[in-house]
Structures are given as structure tokens and as C-alpha cells.
Amino acid sequence: MKLDADALKRLANRTLEHYQANAAAFWEGTRDHDVEQNIEALLRHIKATPPFALLDFGCGPGRDLCAFARRGHQPIGLEGAPALAQMARSHSGCVVWQQDFLQLELPEAHFDGVFANASLFHVPAQELPRILRQLHATLKAAGVLFASNPRGNNEERVVGGRYGAYYDLPRWRALLSAAEFTELEHYYRPAGLPREQQPWLASVWGKG
């Protein structure tokens, strides 16, 4: 069933309110997560001359902004929850745009890479094609999108106060292809475990 504008706003606000209320706990629970594999997957596919202009889409409290800045790149964060956006600025010293995923204002052809680590699954399924097109448009001609999301069987649900959409690889490929992205790589995480113990689907896409 297609949601109207008011229902979409309520759904988005519910997720943002969860992160706003739990910002400190979220930082403590995720600050030491090892996402080096994901960061390197994005960076190795970018063919531009460094430093790269990067958008950390759904940057949370700024862990990965710090990682990109330490490598000498020029990251900008984008975060919907005000408390997380402020934490990201404080932790990283980077520019952080506070924007709702459903009301993006992104510059055209600006970024060499977009890093969407555990963020795009919070976009309501009916709106995801539009958001993917906006991310495509904000990338430079040879830009690269990285995405990592918890996988599933193409269902949507609210879990622990947060909305999530959970895709399998064929559906995810179809969505990204429809937005004119070209697949460069995909893998499951955590590495080295049986597939049933790898809940995360990571993928890298070129602006094709």
C-alpha cells in the first residue's frame, strides 16, 4: 500500500526520534565497529585523483567521517537526527548537513564517492528509487556509491522504533540498475562466516 505524504513523514520522524533519543548509546555501541572493509571497498573503486570529495550518507555520530579525514580525503556528513549531526561535527571536525533522507538538497555532480553504510535501508521502499536517483545525480561522472544494508526477503517493518526495508541481492540489483548504477562489487558481512551468519549485504556501484 502506497503511503501518503503525512504517513511518510510520521514514519521518517519515528526513526529519527529513536536515534535522537538514543544518540549517546548509539555512539557507545558503534564507535568501535570495524568497517574498514567497507571503507576500502569504496575508495579502491574511485578513479579520481585524491583527495576525494566524499558524502557520508547517514553519518551518525561521525566514526567514518574521522576515518576518511585521517586518510586525507574531504568528507561531508549527512545526518537526519540533530543530536547525531552535532556529535559528528564535534567528533570529526567535518561539515555535517542535517537533512531528512526524504527531503534531500544535494549539489549536482559534486562528489567522487557516496558512502551509505547502514543507512539506505531506513528509506521507505516506495521512496528509494527517487533517493537513489538523487544520489546518482550528486556523484561526478565517474563517481562511486557504496551501500551496506541488513539483507532480507524484500520486506518492510518497524523494529525497535526504527523503520527498515530489507532486500535480497536480486531486488537490490534491480533497484540500483533502474537508477542507472552499474555494479562493481558485492559481498556479505561479517567476512569469513557461513552465509546464514552474514546478515549484511555490501555493494559498490559506479555511475553508469
Class of domain 5-207: alpha beta
- pLDDT score recorded for residue 185: 98
> pLDDT-based confidence at 163, cuts 50/70/90?
very high
**Domain boundary assignment for the chain:** 5-207
Q: Over the chain, what is the mean pLDDT?
A: 96
> pLDDT-based confidence at 208, cuts 50/70/90?
confident
Share of the chain above pLDDT 90, in %: 93
- pLDDT score recorded for residue 107: 98
> pLDDT-based confidence at 34, cuts 50/70/90?
confident
Per-residue pLDDT averaged across 142-147, rounded?
Answer: 98
pLDDT(171) > 90: yes
- pLDDT score recorded for residue 56: 98
- pLDDT score recorded for residue 205: 99
**What's the pTM value of the predicted model, to 2 decimals?**
0.96
> pLDDT-based confidence at 128, cuts 50/70/90?
very high
- pLDDT score recorded for residue 27: 84
pLDDT(187) > 80: yes
- pLDDT score recorded for residue 31: 82
- pLDDT score recorded for residue 146: 99
- pLDDT score recorded for residue 160: 87
- pLDDT score recorded for residue 5: 93
- pLDDT score recorded for residue 148: 98
CB atoms within 10 A of CB 182: 11
Per-residue pLDDT averaged across 105-110, rounded?
Answer: 98
